[in-house]
Amino acid sequence: MRLLRSEEVPAGEGAGVPPAQLDALARRWYGDRLDPGWRPRSAEASQAILADAGLTGGFWALS
Amino acid sequence: MTGEELALRRAIMASFAATGAPPPVADGPALRGLERAHVVVLAPAGEDGVGIHMAHPFAGHRDGTQVTAPGGGWWGSCAWDGLGIVAALGLADADVRSGAITLRVRGGGLQDAGDAVFHVAVPARRWWEDIVFT
């Protein structure tokens, strides 16, 4: 996973996420990691966070 | 996840949050349980024993993304992790430097990053086949 300029992105490979979308994802994905009551979340919950961030389809399927 | 594993995880995360680095850890069932649960990624054991390579969003290595803010500095493995550190720590102002690009968070919001793109090469179902590469 790399942060690139748009012209550096390999054509036809992988997926690109704009920074604002990545920021929204990071807040949901990691925002609770230092909470005292943190517990591992399910794969289904992680998948829902990806979907809420607009990352859907086969490439973003966790299983 | 056992109580011992959760307590060890809290200690690891507290150290990362406070210092940007992992604490010394003893190898054992709790640490290996965290590894199996993908809570930590261990570094190859060296002369000083086992080390923490990653405890997402934090990284013990210095090859990825650097987060700097008033009062501290931290490392993650990629820009996703770097922005995750900003979120987990509740930083209002921070710079997230990944390669040649710096994302700037000011007043709790991400500033316009121009034409930057976060490129994900590996499909999600394969991320943990080689998480260091991912």
- The mean predicted confidence, pLDDT, of chain B is 93
Q: Does B117 touch chain A (CB under 8 A)?
A: yes
Cβ atoms of residues B42 and B53 within 8 Å: yes
Contact A3 B117 (CB under 8 A): yes
Q: Please give the Cα distance from B39 to A38 (Å, whole number).
A: 12
Residues B41-70 as b or e (16 or more Cβ within 10 Å = b) = bbbeeeeeebbbbbbbbbbbeeebbbbbbe
What is the Cα–Cα distance from A42 to A35, expressed in whole angstroms? Answer: 17
Taking the CA of residue B47 and the nearest CA in chain A, the distance in Å comes to: 30
How far is the CA of B18 from the CAs of B85, B102, B120, in angstroms? 12, 23, 29
* Mean of pLDDT over chain A: 95
Contact A18 B118 (CB under 8 A): yes
Quickly state the pLDDT bin for B131 (edges 50, 70, 90). Answer: confident
Q: Is the CB of residue B84 less than 8 Å from the CB of residue B57?
A: yes
- Residue at token pair 């820009």: B79
For the record, the structure tokens of B22 come out as: 């992992």
Radius of gyration of chain A (CA): 14
Question: Between the CA of residue B122 and those of A25, A40, B81, B99, B129, what are the distances in Å?
Answer: 17, 23, 16, 19, 10
Residue ranges of domains in chain B: 3-55, 62-134
Q: What average pLDDT score do residues B6-18 get?
A: 97
ipTM, 2 decimals? 0.95
Tell which of A23, A32, A49, A56 to mutate to test the B interface (max B CBs under 10 Å). Answer: A23
pLDDT tens-digit readout, B54-66 = 999 999 999 999 9
pLDDT, tens only, B43-88 = 877 767 789 999 999 999 999 999 999 989 999 999 999 999 999 9
pLDDT of res. B129: 78
Mean pLDDT of A24-50: 95
| Inter-chain residue contact A23 with B125, CB threshold 8 Å | no
